[in-house]
A and B are shown apart, each in its own frame.
Chain A
Amino acid sequence: MHWLELQGLGLTEGATRILADIDLKLGAGRTALLGPNGAGKSTLLRLMHGLLRPSTGTVSWPNPLSQAMVFQRPVMLRATVLANIEYGLSLRGVPAGARRRKADEALARVGLPELVHRQARKLSGGEQQRVALARAWALEPEVLFLDEPTASLDPASSREVERIIGEIAAGGTKIVMTTHNLGQAHRIAEEVIYLEGGRLMEQTPVEEFFRQPSTSAARLFIQDELGS
């Protein structure tokens, strides 16, 4: 059973077609969006999350699910880590008494309980990314969108973030993420969606995608990425 359906989805900005004719049903628990730079991966995530309105087509949720998104570059308020996490909770109507406990739990789960009173914008990129994950996780979303969650992180931080994503997924949250790290897609995802030039090329189970992609575009992409 799918939980999200895109029909004839397209987005045009001025004269540029960013996405066109996307027909897609998402049913997997962990999906990776792959494709070269400028393929439209981030744009597609934003459309799914409702941050952008499509020029054509529809995004439909058979059952409305609560969502959260972690952006490629974490955006933190000028406040402590705790205040940043509590802010998201207050927007979702979590009563004041419960926010602190949920924030502490989320920070503990990303392995940064000691940062609770630090100023969020003074943390390193990797720490901020994990705080952003904690902020999203604290909201207990049913779907979590992740845009290149490990793009600028060192290998150790990347592994840590992968572990966190694995745990979030294990808790039943559906994950949709973009990444340029094919190993990461292989480790995390059940299903791969491959985009190129704003078009959906294929939607394939992960093992099959890496063993034998059904389009030559995807095959070339995998060769290029592995070769470089």
Chain B
Amino acid sequence: MSEIAQSLALAGELVAAGDAKLAEIVWLSLKVSLSATALSCVLGMPLGALLAVGRFPGRHSLIVLFNGLMGLPPVVVGLLVYLLLSRAGPLGQFGLLFTPAAMIIAQTVLITPIIAALTRQVIEDEWREYREQLRSLGASRMRAGRTLLWNARFSLTTAGLAGFGRAVAEVGAVMIVGGNIDGVTRVMTTTIALETSKGDLPLALALGAILVAVVLVINTGAFILRQWAERRWG
């Protein structure tokens, strides 16, 4: 019991002192997961809109597929991306394995389906409301999809956040493709896993607390943004 209390106190000191190693790990975590989220939004949101308003063969199968991919286990994604990036793999020549770039790729693969599937749901609701009006004004389906993405921009922050939350909290994928190399690819989750198994609880606890705080702050920010947008735009 006292050991845990002691660890907590040490964790507090680490955070308060702005420990350099701690800061580096947090910074890399945010950089990797925010990059993956941005990439996934660029890929997944147009894709989700296309699934919502488009009419093409295989659309229903794609929707089912993306819904299913939302639950993809991170270790499996890690394994797949590892195979792609390993020296013998199709993308081996770029030497990306065990770099932050590999981690960004893995997290992008992991959360693009989440963002696409959530975007589809949001845009489908919008399409129901706006379809006749947009068609009456003369918008093509493509144009309508673009219009509705912008029109739903505040609801879509939820989709982006869900993706970021999943990325920043996963450990399996970044562990496999990043390798948890000290000072290079060590992020919050992989460090927590490693330090806990080594018995160094203060660092693990400090990182755990920061991770929770990051997720809370981002969600609160998004909540406030949506409330504000709701009041402003109706």
Contacts and interface: CB of A to CB of B under 8 A. Distances in A.
Contacts of A92: 137-138
B234 A78 contact: yes
Q: Chain A at the B interface: mostly helix, strand, loop or mixed?
A: mixed
Contacts of B136: 49, 51, 67-69, 71
A91 B141 CA distance: 12
Nearest to B154: A78
Interface in A77-103: 77-79, 87-88, 91-92
Contacts of A122: 233-234
B234 A121 contact: yes
A71 B143 contact: no
Nearest to B231: A122
B132 A91 contact: no
Interface in B184-234: 232-234
Interface residues of B, number: 15
A121 B129 CA distance: 13
Nearest to B234: A121
B76 interface: no
B130 A119 contact: no
Contacts of B143: 91
Contacts of B232: 119
A71 B151 contact: no
A71 B137 contact: no
Contacts of A135: 137
A46 interface: yes
A100 B135 CA distance: 22
A121 B233 contact: yes
A77 B137 contact: no
Contacts of A88: 137-138
Give the interface residue-count category, chain A: 20 to 34
Contact of A91 (B130, B138, B151, B234): B138
A220 interface: no
Interface in B104-142: 129-130, 132-133, 135-139
Residue among A46, A77, A135 facing the most chain B CB atoms (10 A cut-off): A77
B231 to A, nearest CB: 9
A145 to B, nearest CB: 8
A75 interface: yes
A75 B234 contact: no
B6 interface: no
Contacts of A69: 136
Contacts of A139: 137
A158 B129 CA distance: 25
6 tightest CB-CB pairs across the interface, nearest first? Answer: A121-B234, A75-B133, A78-B233, A122-B234, A91-B138, A69-B136
Given A78-B234, A91-B137, 19 more contacts: A46-B132, A51-B132, A51-B136, A67-B136, A68-B136, A69-B136, A71-B132, A75-B129, A75-B133, A78-B151, A79-B233, A88-B137, A91-B139, A91-B143, A92-B138, A119-B234, A121-B233, A122-B233, A122-B234
24 contacts: A46-B132, A51-B136, A68-B136, A68-B137, A71-B132, A75-B129, A75-B130, A75-B133, A77-B147, A77-B151, A78-B151, A78-B234, A79-B151, A87-B147, A88-B137, A91-B138, A91-B139, A91-B143, A92-B137, A92-B138, A119-B234, A121-B233, A121-B234, A122-B234
